[in-house]
Structure 1
Amino acid sequence: MPQVDDRRTRRTRSALRRALVELSLERGYANLRVDEISERADVGRATFYAHFRDKQALYDDVVAALLAELKERLTPEVRETGGFTGRPLVALFQHALDNRDAYRVVLRGDGDGRALTRLRDDLSEATLRTFERRVEEQGLEPRLDLRVVARAWVGEQVAVLTWWLEEEAAPIPLEEVAGMLADLSRFGRMWATGVDPTGASSSE
């Protein structure tokens, strides 16, 4: 019996998460009512409240599940050694593509922006730990505060990811857009715009 109940619980919670995401994209999170979410998930209001206190608790659960899965995907990649490979970027963009609708809700700042802040904070903390490990392993002396570097790097990822997911069809293939971000991180904006270190245009 417990296994049956566990499966039923997982199915119900999954249906409620899916309903919240779908309706948020259709009507906006702020406009949703619990009875609408329950109806879309094909469960009763009593069942909803047996699992979640309110729609914010359900949204928090959507975000927690999303970030837990993202962490699982990223963990093997952020342990990389031997320099910057860009693999965590590919893993992030692939996870976002696999969960496109949920990411779109989060990246739009629905639910008073807490979910977006949490995503940025989690990614920034993981990035900072990776940078600190590389610095220690390679005996480097950072030129800038690594907290600033990590936040700036994550900000670029989130900005590009938001634009990339909101298009009807991905405007640039996954590996290509991740590669562009990786090159931007490696070589900088001046290089990306065609300016060489001497200040001359690359076309000259």
Structure 2
Amino acid sequence: MTDDDPRVRRTRARLRAAVLELSAERDPDSITVAEIAQRADVNRATVYIHYRDRDDLVLDAMEAAVGELAAEAARCPYREAGPVPASLVALFEHVGARAPLYRRMLGPYGSARFCARLREALVVELRGPFAAGSRPPGHDDVPPEIHAHYLAGALIGVVTCWLEEHPPRPAGEIAAMTWGLIR
């Protein structure tokens, strides 16, 4: 079997969908490989043919979402003053639309591997614009790598705090607060 095999792609898609559905329903740490297999309508051994373990599957399932979030963060015009960028609002809307899953993955019993992957994706996406000079005014002396790590950590912190609010503020409101902190 290769990654190009349509059966492999189909099976992995079903496994990713199953783990995302289950993760939205309850704590990912309580989900077993057997439950994932049952939801995906495959046998348990099939899960291990495609993934090392449950966390590996969760990370793969969340990869597209992580990429979307990181891309929105990189689209923000950090160098420009002005109103809250639509891309920052879109970042929070993205998280809000998947709040149960992000809440579980970033919460106290979430996945350290997911948090590290999210931070890594944010740093990679932010490093490019920052190296090209798209940093807030007055921060040109901060190396792009440090600035990217700083903002990645700050965004994860704000997202985590926002997800703990009951009910969470509207995406536009938390985006405006975050923009004020970034600026």
Sort the TM-score into its range (normalised by shorter chain).
Answer: 0.7 to 0.9
Cα 1:128–1:107 change in 2 (3 A) is same
Corresponding residue number in structure 2 for 1:192: none
Would the aligned equivalents of 1:74 and 1:92 in 2 still touch at CA under 8 Å? yes
The correspondence for 1:17, drawn from 16, 19, 22, is: 19
The secondary structure found in structure 2 opposite 1:68 is helix
Would the aligned equivalents of 2:19 and 2:57 in 1 still touch at CA under 8 Å? yes
Cα 1:135–1:54 change in 2 (3 A) is closer
Structure-to-structure mapping, 1:47-126, within 5 angstroms:
47-71=46-70, 73=72, 77-78=75-76, 80=77, 83-84=80-81, 86-108=85-107, 110-111=110-111, 113-126=112-125
Backbone CA RMSD of aligned residues: 3.4
Q: Which has the larger radius of gyration?
A: 1
Would the aligned equivalents of 2:27 and 2:104 in 1 still touch at CA under 8 Å? no
Q: Separation in 2 of the partners of 1:129 and 1:184?
A: 21
Q: Separation in 2 of the partners of 1:166 and 1:183?
A: 20
Q: Separation in 2 of the partners of 1:38 and 1:175?
A: 38
In structure 1, list runs of 5 or more residues that go unmatched.
187-204
The one-letter amino acid paired with 1:122 is A
The secondary structure found in structure 2 opposite 1:143 is coil
Q: Separation in 1 of the partners of 2:88 and 2:17?
A: 29
Q: Separation in 2 of the partners of 1:131 and 1:124?
A: 10
Cα 1:146–1:22 change in 2 (3 A) is same
| TM-score normalized with structure 1 length | 0.66
Would the aligned equivalents of 1:120 and 1:154 in 2 still touch at CA under 8 Å? yes
TM-superposed deviation, 1:119: 0.8
Structure-to-structure mapping, 1:188-199, within 5 angstroms:
none
- 1:178 paired with 2:175, answer yes
The correspondence for 1:159, drawn from 157, 160, 172, is: 157
Would the aligned equivalents of 1:60 and 1:115 in 2 still touch at CA under 8 Å? yes
The secondary structure found in structure 1 opposite 2:133 is helix
TM-superposed deviation, 1:126: 2.0
The one-letter amino acid paired with 2:17 is A
| TM-score normalized with structure 2 length | 0.73
TM-superposed deviation, 1:159: 1.2
The correspondence for 2:143, drawn from 145, 148, 157, is: 145
177-186 or 97-106: which moved more? 97-106
Q: In the TM superposition, what whole-angstrom CA distance separates every residue of 1:44-84 from its partner, at most 9, and x where no partner exists?
A: 32443454343122122123232233355556x34x59715
Cα 1:131–1:37 change in 2 (3 A) is same
The secondary structure found in structure 2 opposite 1:178 is helix
Q: Separation in 2 of the partners of 1:57 and 1:159?
A: 23
TM-superposed deviation, 1:158: 1.3
